[in-house]
A and B are shown apart, each in its own frame.
Chain A
Amino acid sequence: MAIPVAYNLRNLIVRKTTTLMTALGIALTVAVLLAMMALLGGLRSTLSSSGDPLQILVMRKGSETELVSNFTREQFQDLKFKAGIARTASGDPMASLEVVTVINLASVDAPEGMNVTVRGLLPIGLEMRKGLKLSSGRWFDSGKRELVVGKSVAQRYPSAGVGKHITFGRGDWEVVGVMDAGQSAQNSEIFGDLNQVSSDLDRTEVLSSALLRAPDAGAAAALLNSINDDQRLNMNAVSEKEYYALQTQAAAPIEYIGIFVAVIMAIGSSFAAMNTMYAAVARRSREIGTLRVLGFSQGSILFSFFLESVLLAALGGLLGCLLVFPLNGVTTGIGSTTFSELAFAFRVTPQIMFAGLLFATVLGAVGGLFPARMAAKKEILVALREV
């Protein structure tokens, strides 16, 4: 026969100081793990919602990121008239030649400056990015030193608000608008006119990359293959979606550090839970004897103490979730493989919280197993005699 769960709950409540201290220790461990997971979750969700499966990013062969790619106007002329590219209403191919660079701006977090991507493009490039809309101000005019910043840039960099001036290239650039790209990585970029940006950077002929749009998924795959197979073009085409998916690599160091920290803290707090449970077993020796006299089996005592430890840890897990919850939606940024900052928000999802609870119960189970075994192994007479 099993010992009622209420017995364990009451025991936890009676020793509330010890219970709370042990649970808080576990809560902090869970909180650290969850914070990392929320960070990674936010980053992944931003990257996976960036990029359109119908769009193809073309770079120089051998280049893995736009920043290190070089792309001449001549090459673009050859590329633009390839078969399988969607057309605009006016019949122009949906192909956007772009230049990408990085500038250093002082941010809220880093007064000494963080790298931000600046992208020069033509109106067709804006048209092709379907999820992009202007949230304040206006778009830049061609031939002027005007910029439109992503909403994360506007939030995180005080020097990049509407009406402010940013100096790079050959002069001052005025910020004339803020764009909202939904969840996409473009929120961390700054857009300007292709010709103005490239001439300011002294690279009017050698730009960075091209973005193409295919009318449907089949055409996109065909276009991708035909560019990659074209020896004369010597270019590397990837689906825009895949390009951003590859950037989740940037999170790898954080992931390793997070797991490392969580594992070490987990060892510490499972020992603490073990300590608490050993003390509980020692103090309740007579109770255990009494339970045995009443006819509860060794197995049910083992299970009861084990359950108590798991309950204790689960309480810690719940507290950990509560501790992390306020992080949900907080914006932060990390350096990405594109050598510039990518902003995203922490995402504390139910799945993550569930993982945290599970992690806590595993901690409790590890910590509770030996004390529970000790409780079950006690001789009835010895247990009853103990003070």
Chain B
Amino acid sequence: MVDTIYAEDEIIGTKKAQEIISKFRHAKIISIERFGEVFNPSNQNFRIQKTNPALILARKQKGFVLNAPEGFGIRDQDNYYFSHMYNCLYDCSYCFLQGMYNSANYLVFVNFDDYKHEIEKIIVKDKEKKMTFFTGYDCDSLAMEPITNFISDFIPFFRRYKNALFEIRTKSINNTIFRKHDALTNCIVAYSLMPEILAQKLDKKAPSVSARIKNMKYIVKKGWKVGLRFDPLIYCNNWKAEYAELFASIFKEIKNENIHSISLGPLRFPKDFFNKLLQFYPKTEEFSFLRSNHKGIVSYDQTLESEMNEYCRLELMKYSDERKFFSCG
């Protein structure tokens, strides 16, 4: 899978770096000073790199935990996110990472303890306060778990702090971790979902939606809580029927009481990024319905966006209740 590993001199000798390197016996290890030497050069091509991504092991220097963007997250709580990794094993056509980074190489920050230290500082400031820590936005942590052991590492940590909710956003059907560990009551395994017909076209390299639902069912059986993330909502012909069918198939397998939360999010891109996406995927009909607005954002027409959001919300309320909903932007 990975034939080249770049490792910062500063961390190459650490236990975590060595643990990861040992999983790629045939990879060429190249020492670097700072990850930016490989990750940041501006004239790299994301799509070409995606054909043979390398792994970069580095030390995160600052900015371990960040506030979730305004309007994002679970209401009446403090919401944070943190990223131990940039870039993803999957190759979803609408993924914002393609516009965010110059490189498609997998960048893993191996100093997990520094993240824990920062998270701990936030948690202990007010032990009564409820807060959520989101992970899996700049990567799919669960999909990369066999390589990083990130979740295995953070489950015991979050077990100590019940006031802190730990959300793992994923499309992965890797369930080893949920078999190995006792269910963590303050953890949400949040699945990104869309109608199968769209996922087949857009969620390249990711497991099918039916496999994701099957995995959710398994995880729930093991006592873990799951979240449903319909973010982004994507328009297609017959979208109402497609989404209605998706919701029905989920709730056929999973009881509402096992679902921690549900969120809906619109499909939106900054204008420049969208133009780049069109170059990458000129034949993707789903992108042809998006228009620019005066703020430099490309999205569906406001009426359509609201209609989709409202329809899906009402449809989901047939199975669940409004208290479980939160906003994704």
> Do A and B form a real pair?
no
